Amino acid sequence: MVCVKYVAAFAALLGASACEKSTQQQAVPAYYDVAGYVDKQIAALSKVKPTVIKRAQMAGNTQHLTLKTLNWSRELELFKQADINKPALRQSYATARPDSLTYLYTLKPTEKNLTVRRLMVQLDSATHQPRRIEATLATQNPLYNSERRIVLESGLNQADQWAIQHYRLSGFQHLVIADKKAFDVEGTVQ
C-alpha cells in the first residue's frame, strides 16, 4: 500500500514537471516576435491616426498621396506574414547574431517551400525595441513567381513614443501567362 502511494506520487510529480517543461518551451519563442511587435504598432497607429505620406509605383505609374485614414492591419499585413515564430518553423531557419542588437534568420537550404527567405531585426541600443525589420518573402510555383522585400523602420515619434516611422514594400509578381509586374510602395508616418 505504501509502495502504491509512492509510485502514484512519483507519477504525479513526473507528469507535473513534464507539463511545466512543455509550457516553458511554448513560452520561449524560437525567433524574434515580429508579429507581436507589428500587432502593437497596428493598435497604436489605429488609435493615433497619424498622417502618412505614401508613394506607390506600379507598372511605371507613380502616385503620391497624403493620407490621414489607413487600415493599418491591411497596410502592414506583409510584415505580419514575415513572422516565423510558429512551432512548425522552429528548425527551419539558421540563426545568426552579427552583433548584440541584430537577429538574422536565413531559411535553411532544405526548406525551399517556405515563403520567408530572410528576416533581420535590428534593435535600438537604448530601448531594445525594433529599430529596423527587413525581410525577403518569395513564392514560386509552376504558374506564379513573386518576391517581396519589406523594410520597417521605427524610432521615437513627436510624442516620445516608440513607433513606426517609415515602411517600404518592393518586388515583383509574375504570372506565367502575363508580364512581370514590379511594385514599390513606401510610407512615411508623420
Q: Is the pLDDT of residue 2 over 50?
A: no
The pLDDT of residue 60: 84
The pLDDT of residue 6: 45
- Give the separation between CA 88 and CA 15, rounded to whole angstroms: 25
Q: 68: helix, coil or strand?
A: coil
The pLDDT of residue 64: 97
Q: Is the pLDDT of residue 4 over 60?
A: no
Instruction: Give the DSSP letter of residue 76.
Output: T
- Domain locations in the chain as residue ranges: 1-29, 31-189
For residue 98, which phi and psi values (nearest 5 degrees)? -55, -30
The pLDDT of residue 132: 99
Instruction: Give the residues across from 41 on adjacent strands.
Output: none
Average pLDDT over residues 40-66: 95
- Which helix (H) or strand (E) segment holds residue 140: the answer is strand 130-140
- Give the separation between CA 174 and CA 146, rounded to whole angstroms: 6
Integer Rg of the chain from CA? 22
Structure confidence by residue, pLDDT tens digits, 60-99: 899 999 999 999 999 999 999 999 999 999 999 999 999 9
pLDDT band at 187 (very low <50, low <70, confident <90, very high): very high
The pLDDT of residue 176: 87
Structure confidence by residue, pLDDT tens digits, 9-35: 444 444 544 444 444 445 577 899 999
The pLDDT of residue 23: 45
Least confident piece of the model among 19-28, 38-47, 154-163:
19-28
Compute the mean pLDDT over every residue in the chain, rounded to the nearest whole number: 88
What is the pTM for the complete model shown?
A: 0.82
CB atoms within 10 A of CB 105: 24
The pLDDT of residue 145: 94
Q: Is the pLDDT of residue 1 over 70?
A: no
